[in-house]
């Protein structure tokens, strides 16, 4: 119960065609996926997605939503044959989701690894843009953001594997206040106030204005602070996958580290039943909006004890609770990943409390606000000026020479934690310490024989068998290099791998 657990990030990218605002986004997104899949060849192009274990209408509150009552956007367990959907050799999924190209990273076990494979997704999208930029065509632009500034929002979702034994009501009770405040250090910043940016101004988070309820199953309408989808992609009576839809698409490594790391630690504390303080926030959805709308960080919210706290003060409360829990449980002997998150958490909160602009190298929204204030001062721009909205969009352009964040990064004006060489390797190589290793390595070694895959399965089509062979992977921490690496090295073919797996299962039986 340290910061380390199975986790991952799903990112839907904004998409446009220069000079053609009426271009069909679903068609464009399909071109993005197929362009990249064709570039990597049979390693990805043949392997589709295995939908057998998908259950998007199962609710953590103990029921299944009837299909007839579901919004079409919720029916993610049936493939649309017109949409591109591939599995990559790094263990990730690249597909079209709600008219956006989406990169779902492979399962990892630490925030730093999550950063590496998330940035690998940026590199993959950047390569797709390059492939589609043919002479004589307009090409496409892709943006790692969460809103077009005109009322549309698309997600960056986090996934955390946790104990099924933890009561869901306890997760809701203790996580909502944390999520209300987390945007103070994890928001990506946005020009415009309100879902349709009808009021001029700047706010901390891209997604906050699009949330309407506290708890619910939906992800694209009536968005909830806590999503109740109960689809563990793992052994169901042992694990729960917490599907977090509230967060922003982050560019800063430090911000991403804090988003994933602090959330994992708070979850660990909840799992351990160690939250010794009731921090329930009054009217949390409204509080989420109000905190996001105030880059001075002075807005206060009322908690159950009757106290009023700023977002920073609420985060300090969680920091102190987590610190006490870790001290009691581990007597100060923390692993490197947990120690890094706790150190960064304290450093960033200290800077934000003293003067938010001190965190301009670490926190996404601060970096963006400082840049925008530079344009405002230079050109005398009011927050209602459309040029600021255009700059906001350009900020997240995935191209290294066009995206404003990428240009600041190249100039050394933001802090990087994960080396570019690790990101480059993560584009094609899976994590070694989760089941993604088996999935990705099978695709790299036996591309012609892998018919489909999912988070919890790989399906083989081999000549020696009359039917498809499904290898289940319901335990996320099996299928690792340590577990199956030698087996994969010895297997000269997919057929031989299946025989060795069967022999191993028979021996264990």
278 exposed, middle or buried (CB, 10 Å; 0-12, 13-18, 19+)?
Answer: exposed
Contact 405, 253 (CB under 8 A): no
Q: Is beta strand 211-216 parallel, antiparallel or unpaired with respect to 223-227?
A: parallel
Contact 271, 171 (CB under 8 A): no
Q: Identify which of 177, 418, 162 has the alpha carbon closest to the alpha carbon of residue 265.
A: 162
Contact 98, 104 (CB under 8 A): no
Beta bridge partners of 214: none
Q: How far apart are CA 287 and CA 310, in angstroms?
A: 10
Contact 458, 128 (CB under 8 A): no
Rounded to a whole number, what is the distance in angstroms from the first to the last CA of the chain?
31
Relative orientation angle of helices 168-186 and 284-292, to the nearest 10 degrees: 10
Q: What angle do CA 40, 100, 399 make, to 5 degrees?
A: 60
Clarify whether 401 is annotated catalytic: no
Contacts of 217-222 with CB under 8 Å at 24 or more apart are 217/57, 217/59, 217/65, 217/74, 218/71, 218/74, 219/73, 219/74, 219/155, 219/157, 219/245, 220/71, 220/73, 220/74, 220/98, 221/71, 221/73
> Exactly one of 97, 113, 337, 456 is catalytic; which is it?
97
The residue whose two tokens read 């351990």 is 272
Q: Identify which of 267, 239, 242, 160 has the alpha carbon closest to the alpha carbon of residue 475.
A: 239
For residue 288, give Cα distances in angstroms to 137, 213, 274, 306: 43, 11, 25, 18
Q: How far apart are CA 350 and CA 373, in angstroms?
A: 22
Structure tokens at 35: 């362009």
Q: 56 φ, ψ to 5°?
A: -70, -10
Q: Identify which of 146, 247, 258, 249 has the alpha carbon closest to the alpha carbon of residue 192.
A: 146
Q: What is the CB neighbour count within 10 angstroms for residue 406?
A: 21
Residues in the chain: 509
Positions annotated as catalytic residues are: 97
């Amino acid at each position: 119960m340290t910061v380390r657990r199975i986790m991952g990030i799903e990112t839907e990218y904004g998409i446009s065609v220069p000079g053609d605002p009426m271009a069909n986004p679903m068609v464009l997104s399909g071109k993005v996926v197929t362009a990249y899949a064709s570039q990597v060849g049979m390693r990805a192009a043949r392997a589709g997605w295995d939908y057998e274990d998908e259950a998007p209408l199962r609710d953590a509150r103990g029921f299944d939503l009837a299909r007839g009552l579901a919004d079409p956007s919720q029916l993610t367990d049936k493939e649309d044959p017109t949409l591109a959907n591939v599995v990559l050799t790094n263990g990730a999924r690249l597909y079209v989701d709600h008219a956006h190209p989406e990169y779902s990273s492979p399962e990892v076990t630490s925030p730093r690894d999550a950063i590496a494979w998330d940035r690998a997704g940026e590199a993959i999208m950047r390569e797709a843009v390059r492939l589609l930029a043919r002479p004589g065509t307009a090409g496409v632009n892709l943006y790692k953001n969460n809103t077009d500034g005109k009322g549309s929002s698309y997600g960056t979702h986090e996934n955390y594997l946790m104990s099924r034994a933890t009561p869901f009501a306890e997760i809701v009770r203790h996580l909502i206040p944390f999520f209300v405040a987390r945007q103070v250090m994890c928001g990506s910043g946005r020009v415009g106030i309100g879902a349709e940016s009808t009021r001029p101004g700047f706010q901390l988070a891209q997604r906050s204005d699009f949330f309407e309820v506290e708890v619910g199953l939906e992800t694209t309408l009536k968005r909830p602070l806590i999503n109740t989808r109960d689809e563990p992609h793992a052994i169901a009576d042992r694990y729960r996958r917490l599907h977090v839809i509230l967060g922003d698409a982050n560019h800063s490594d430090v911000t991403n580290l804090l988003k994933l790391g602090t959330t994992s630690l708070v979850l660990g504390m909840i799992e351990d039943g160690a939250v010794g303080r009731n921090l329930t926030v009054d009217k949390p959805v409204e509080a989420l909006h109000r905190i996001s709308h105030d880059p001075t960080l002075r807005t206060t919210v009322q908690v159950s004890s009757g106290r009023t706290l700023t977002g920073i003060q609420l985060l300090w409360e969680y920091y102190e609770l987590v610190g006490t829990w870790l001290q009691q449980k581990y007597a100060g002997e923390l692993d490197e990943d947990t120690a890094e998150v706790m150190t960064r958490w304290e450093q960033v909160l200290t800077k934000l409390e003293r003067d938010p602009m001190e965190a301009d190298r670490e926190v996404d929204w601060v970096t963006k606000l400082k840049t925008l204030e530079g344009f405002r001062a230079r050109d005398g721009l009011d927050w209602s000026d459309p040029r600021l909205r255009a700059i906001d969009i350009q900020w997240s352009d995935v191209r290294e020479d066009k995206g404003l964040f990428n240009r600041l990064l190249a100039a050394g004006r933001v802090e990087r934690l994960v080396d570019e060489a690790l990101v480059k390797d993560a584009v094609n190589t899976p994590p070694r310490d989760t089941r993604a290793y088996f999935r990705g390595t099978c695709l790299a070694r036996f591309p012609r024989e892998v018919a489909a895959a999912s988070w919890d399965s790989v399906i083989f089509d081999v000549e020696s068998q009359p039917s498809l062979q499904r290898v289940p992977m319901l335990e996320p921490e099996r299928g690792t290099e340590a577990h199956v690496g030698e087996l994969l090295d010895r297997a000269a073919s997919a057929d031989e791998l299946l025989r060795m797996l069967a022999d191993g299962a028979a021996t264990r039986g």
